[in-house]
Structure formats: structure tokens, C-alpha cells
Chains A and B, each alone.
Chain A
Amino acid sequence: MSKWTEARARTPLVSVRNIDVTFGNGRNAFKAVDNVSFDIYRGETFGLVGESGSGKTTIGRAIIRINKVSAGDILYEGKRISGKIDRECDREVIRNIQMIFQDPMASLNERAKIDYIISEGLMSVNHGMSAAERKEKVEQALLDVGLLPEFASRFPHEFSGGQRQRIGIARCLVMNPSFIIADEPISALDVSIRAQVLNLLSRLQQERGLTYLFIAHDLSVMRFITNRIAVIYKGVIVELAETEELFRHPLHPYTKVLLSAVPVPNPRVERKKKVLVYDPGCHHYSDGERPVWAEVVPGHFVRGSERELDAYSEERDK
């Protein structure tokens, strides 16, 4: 039984249903996310890949309620968490869904000590917690991410990028969330540090059964960390499949371009590599041929017109 069929038997932890996110209004309105749907199952790592401006970060922020959705629903454990929700539900969201930010240099409050930064979330959901208990939790969180408890009394600027990102992760962990949105958590880090953070994320997933939405702009780390990947282009999801399936049988031309751009750490391979360029005009969509969202093989979805889909499934079967 493949992972995918297993997954289908389960209920999704997070469901995104036909959401639109629009910025600005009237004439200046800009639709950053256009009719996007996907499910994230408990315990999996769901990857969302796209270039800057594709709307991937916007989707993450819509789930955690920083950005408002202008249409569609977002469900957490079957309960709607988008739009107007009551206080109790809002607190549930805060407790269960957390976010890791891209730039560790910008996401920590420079004027607060690590101690405060990590315990910030505890103060808002656990009013009754004693100072000693809080201190203990902070120290434990620091240890969990491989830092030393003595760091608690320092300011963020004393830490390197990798350490700061781990502080950002510790800040999520004290909330004991079940779902973490990791918005390009490693792209601002040095390559030498990326492995540290990726290992930490997968270890935490195993130990705590966390579910991740992992947002990235390139596919190089995706194969290592994700179970399923959705590829997004200009606010529209163009392909969604299990990771290995996507890497072996990319169908949409944009996915192929992204795959060809992954740098191979081998000079001899790299020198001969041909990088593809995506031309959105290659689809020739006309009135008669609107693109639709279709399942080519079980679990492998792609966007295309009838004609393209036929070509895709032929390509897939080869």
C-alpha cells in the first residue's frame, strides 16, 4: 500500500478549499492566490514550491490568519478557521498552528532577550503559569533545538543565522503545536548550516508527530524533507504529487523547469546541464481549451487542457 492510499484513508489535518487571496481593492486589486485547494494529512510534510511572487507565502500566511482569504475556506481538523471565528477557536489556532519565518535576522525582536522571545507564546495562552515553570520550559525548548540553556539571558544579535533560526523554532515548540508552517526556513541560511536546521525539523517531526507545510522556492531540499509537493505558479497550483513521483515523472512544463534548475554538486554534470526556461505562452490556451485540474494517476494531479492532459498521461505511462 503506497503512502498515498494510506493517507487518503485518514482525514486531513488542514484543508485548503478553493481559496482566493486578493490584495488591494477596486482597480488596484491583485489576486495573489487564485482558487487554490489542497489537503495536508496528519504527520506528513507537505511541500509548496514556487518562485517569488507565486503566492506560496501568502497561502501559508492565510492559514495562520495573517492574511485574509477573499473566497474559500480553510479547515483545521474539519473546523473552519478562516474568516470570522470566535475567540475560543482563535486561541485553538494559536496553540496548534505555528510558523517558522524565512529570515532569522528579521524575525526575532532585537530588543528582547531570548528568554522573552521563547516564552512569548506561553504568556498569551497560559496566563496562570509560574515564572519558574516558564523558565523550565524555555530551557527545555533551547535544549530541544540543540542550544544551551545559558543562552536564555542573551540578546538575539549575539547569535549566528543558524542559531537564530533554531531560536525561532524553539519559540514555536514551547506552544506544543501540531502543525507548523515553515516558510522558507533555510533559504536565508548558509548552505553549511541548512543541514542542521533540516535535521532538527525532521527529528522533531519523528519525536512529536508534527505536520509541516514546507514552503520553498527551489526543489533541491524538497526531495529530502517532503512527502508530497505542490508546485505553484503565479497563484495557481499547476502540479501536485508524491515527492518521488514528482521527481521521477514531472509532467507540467513549469515543474520540469524547476527540476532542471536544481544545482548538481558535480562540475562534470553541471557543465553539460541544459537549463530549461518556462514560457507560460507554451500552453496556447484558448476559449475552447480551458485548463482543468485533473488526476493523471492516483495522487498525481496536474493542470492542463484536455489535449495537454492526454499528452501528460501518455508521457506518464511511458
Chain B
Amino acid sequence: MENREIILSVKNLNVRFSLRGKSLHAIRGVSLDVFKGESLAIVGESGSGKSVLTKNFIGLLDKNGRIDSGEILYAGMDLAKFTTEKEWAKIRGKKIAMVMQDPMTSLNPLKTIGWQISEALILNRGMKRAEAKAAAIDILKDVGINEPQRRYRQYPHEFSGGMRQRVVIAIAVACGPEILICDEPTTALDVTIQSQILGLIKTLCRKYEMTTIYITHDLGVVANVADRIAVMYAGDIVEIGTADEVFFNPQHPYTWALLSSLPQLGEKGKELYSIKGTPPKLFGVIKGDAFAPRNPQALKIDYLVRPPYFEVSPTHKARTWLLDPRAPKIEPPEIIKRLHDLEQEGEAGEADE
């Protein structure tokens, strides 16, 4: 994995917001390498900074936010130093594209679907109108829209939610970006559509050799699509590893909690595992491990010093004092083992094939 080419590298990034006269430390020293061609999932609850982090990659940080320190290296440029729209115009859409949660916010209700896709092609790829139309119809076919010729002339309101999201993906893919960021692409959709859309993104990324970054709050959703998973809590990546490592050998108590509280694992008549309390507000200084106040097994050191990354394997590291040799041995919750059972089921399935 180390030999793989790094396409985007975040180095010790700090982002602050000023909110009602107070300063909010939304991203607290995040470092992250994204490899070419992989699909990375960033998982965290609302307010964990997962969206804020990725918004920095396309220069869409809210007006009251600013990058305090750190670098975002992409194609030899430091995106963190970008200030003008002109600079961003070269990156946004063309090199790094984003699919938002609500498809309606990214579509213009007054223009036909076809116009919107070909406009993207004309602007970003310099195509002629007729050429763009042909390409747009091809892309519509690619994202699984039947009768693309007819659909080309329709308006967004004539499409269902799932179909609209397909169109948004089509527009994002149309410009041939290297990195596709999907911000909760399926949260607003029905479950049956959800898996179709995820499948579509997966196929397209393979076809066009794109690197994908998923942002979601639901670990269950990304099991299917992510090669690697980064777990974010309170503006920091607390654990990162391959999907199998994070699911089957989680190390950080927060990852344990996230996995254990999945309702799919619940047993009737028993309490579901639940995380107590609410995430911290990021005003002021957070000392130690941000998750400590909600962690029943927190150590004293967790309240004092922020843990460094401990390496579990070359691809897997976690920020928790539990991995320090001086720490007591604390077993992950029982329920995590049921995931291993599910793993066995999975292997049994493999044997069947």
C-alpha cells in the first residue's frame, strides 16, 4: 500500500470558524493521504468535521471559516494557499468534483437536464454544442438512465429523487475529474435506491479511474464501497485503516461505539449498545482525547494529553492511549465479536461460490 501513488495529501490541517463572536476549531490538525484510484470513506457524526474537511479540497469553505495552518497538496499545488475564485476554477469540477446530499441543490430547476450536462462539458472540456450533446447522452446512459434521448430534454422536476442523484453524478463525472467527493450521496434517498446509487458510483469510478472520497455518518452503508475507512470525531481522524481492519479489528473506543450501536446488530429484548451524551462543542480548547467524556472506559491520561497515532499495521493506525504499552488491556465490547460471526458467514458464502 505504501508504494501506491498519493494523489492528495493533507498535512496537519487546522480550520477555524468564527461563530457568534466565538472561535470554533472545526478541524484539529488532520493529516491524511489519499491514494490514486482508491475509495476512501470518511465516517463521523454531524459536527465531526467530515464535510468541512472535504470542502477545503474544492474551496467551498463557508465564509466565516478559514484555514489556520496546514497544507493540502494536490498535483504540486498547495490548495490551502488558494484565495481567489480564479485559482479554484481550475480545480473545482475539472479535477475534483463533488456530489452533494440533496440533488435538488445542485441542479438548476429552470434548465433541462441535457443542457446542464452539456454546459459542463462545454465549459470544462471545451466541446462544441453538438459534440457535447452526444457525449451527454452517452453519460446519461452510463449512469443508468433509460431513454437518454428523451430524458435529455426533460427538467429536473420530471425526475424522481434517485434519478436526480444519477444526473448529479453524471454532471460530476462529465468533466472527467480525478477525485470525486460524495457527501452523503444517499442519505436523502430510499434504501432500495441507496444501494443502486452506491453501486453506480463504484462502477463509474472503476470505469473512469477516479479516486472517490465518501462522506457518511453510517458505517453500515460504506462496508460495500470503501477500500479504506477514516473515522472522524470532533475534527480529528481517530482511526484509519482498510475496511476490513476497521470493521474486524477496531482499536479506538469511538469506533467500537459506532460499530456496536448499529441497529442491525441489535437483539430483540436487549438494550442496544448506545453512546452516551452528545459530541463536544468545538469552541475553545479540547484537552486530551475528545471522546473521553463519553467513554465509560476512559483513562486519566485521556483527559490530559491527546494520544498520538499508534500503528497497528502498516495500513492501520489509531489515536488512542489504549494502544500504549502502559495502558491496561481493555477488550472491545462483546458485540464487536458478532461482526466476526458475520465475517464467518461471509467466508462461508465465499466457500459456496
Taking Cβ atoms with an 8 Å cutoff, the residues of A that contact B are: 51-52, 159-163, 186, 190-196, 198-199, 202-203, 217-221, 223-224, 243, 257-258, 261-273, 275, 277-278
How far apart sit A290 and B57, CA to CA, in the bound complex (Å)?
A: 56
The 9 closest A-B pairs by CB, nearest first: A224-B266, A268-B346, A195-B274, A270-B224, A195-B261, A218-B191, A263-B220, A51-B190, A190-B45
In the complex, the answer to whether A52 meets B161 with C-beta atoms within 8 Å is: yes
- Flag whether B273 is at the interface (Cβ < 8 A): yes
In the complex, the answer to whether B342 meets A198 with C-beta atoms within 8 Å is: no
Taking Cβ atoms with an 8 Å cutoff, the residues of B that contact A are: 45-47, 161, 190-196, 199, 217-221, 223-224, 226, 243-244, 247, 257-259, 261-268, 271-276, 278-279, 339, 342-343, 345-347, 349-350, 353
Residues of B contacting A186 with CB < 8 Å? Answer: 263
A-B contact pairs, 20 of them (CB 8 A): A160-B278, A163-B278, A190-B217, A191-B45, A191-B219, A192-B257, A195-B273, A198-B266, A199-B271, A217-B190, A220-B191, A261-B195, A264-B264, A267-B244, A267-B247, A268-B346, A268-B347, A269-B342, A275-B195, A275-B199
In the complex, the answer to whether B196 meets A263 with C-beta atoms within 8 Å is: no
The count of A-to-B residue pairs whose CB atoms sit within 8 angstroms is 148
How far apart sit A271 and B224, CA to CA, in the bound complex (Å)?
A: 5
How far apart sit A159 and B281, CA to CA, in the bound complex (Å)?
A: 11
In the complex, the answer to whether A195 meets B223 with C-beta atoms within 8 Å is: no
Which one, A51, A192, A199, contacts B258 given CB within 8 A?
A192
Chain A min CB distance to B61 (Å) = 22
How far apart sit A159 and B192, CA to CA, in the bound complex (Å)?
A: 32
In the complex, the answer to whether B243 meets A191 with C-beta atoms within 8 Å is: no
Known: A160-B279, A198-B263. A270 touches B223 (CB 8 A): yes
Which one, A51, A191, A195, A263, contacts B224 given CB within 8 A?
A263
Closest residue of chain A to B199, judged by CB?
A275
Residues of A contacting B47 with CB < 8 Å? Answer: 160
Closest residue of chain A to B266, judged by CB?
A224
Known: A192-B275, A223-B264, A263-B194. 14 other contacts (CB 8 A): A159-B278, A191-B217, A191-B220, A191-B262, A192-B45, A196-B276, A223-B268, A261-B194, A266-B343, A267-B223, A269-B223, A272-B353, A277-B192, A277-B196
Residues of B contacting A198 with CB < 8 Å? Answer: 263, 266, 272, 274
In the complex, the answer to whether B274 meets A261 with C-beta atoms within 8 Å is: no
Known: A163-B278, A220-B264, A261-B195. A269 touches B345 (CB 8 A): yes
Residues of B contacting A194 with CB < 8 Å? Answer: 261, 263
Which one, B258, B259, B343, contacts A268 given CB within 8 A?
B343
In the complex, the answer to whether B346 meets A266 with C-beta atoms within 8 Å is: yes
How far apart sit A243 and B267, CA to CA, in the bound complex (Å)?
A: 13
In the complex, the answer to whether A199 meets B223 with C-beta atoms within 8 Å is: no
Closest residue of chain A to B349, judged by CB?
A272
How far apart sit A85 and B349, CA to CA, in the bound complex (Å)?
A: 57
Chain B min CB distance to A194 (Å) = 6
In the complex, the answer to whether B192 meets A278 with C-beta atoms within 8 Å is: yes
In the complex, the answer to whether B264 meets A265 with C-beta atoms within 8 Å is: yes
How far apart sit A195 and B276, CA to CA, in the bound complex (Å)?
A: 10
Which one, A199, A264, A272, contacts B220 given CB within 8 A?
A264
In the complex, the answer to whether B349 meets A191 with C-beta atoms within 8 Å is: no
Residues of B contacting A264 with CB < 8 Å? Answer: 220, 223, 264, 342
Residues of A contacting B218 with CB < 8 Å? Answer: 191, 263
Residues of B contacting A51 with CB < 8 Å? Answer: 190-193
Residues of A contacting B267 with CB < 8 Å? Answer: 224
How far apart sit A257 and B193, CA to CA, in the bound complex (Å)?
A: 10
Which of A192, A258, A265, A272 is most buried by chain B, counting CB atoms within 10 A of its CB?
Answer: A192
How far apart sit A271 and B226, CA to CA, in the bound complex (Å)?
A: 10
Which one, A161, A224, A257, A266, contacts B192 given CB within 8 A?
A257
Chain A min CB distance to B84 (Å) = 35
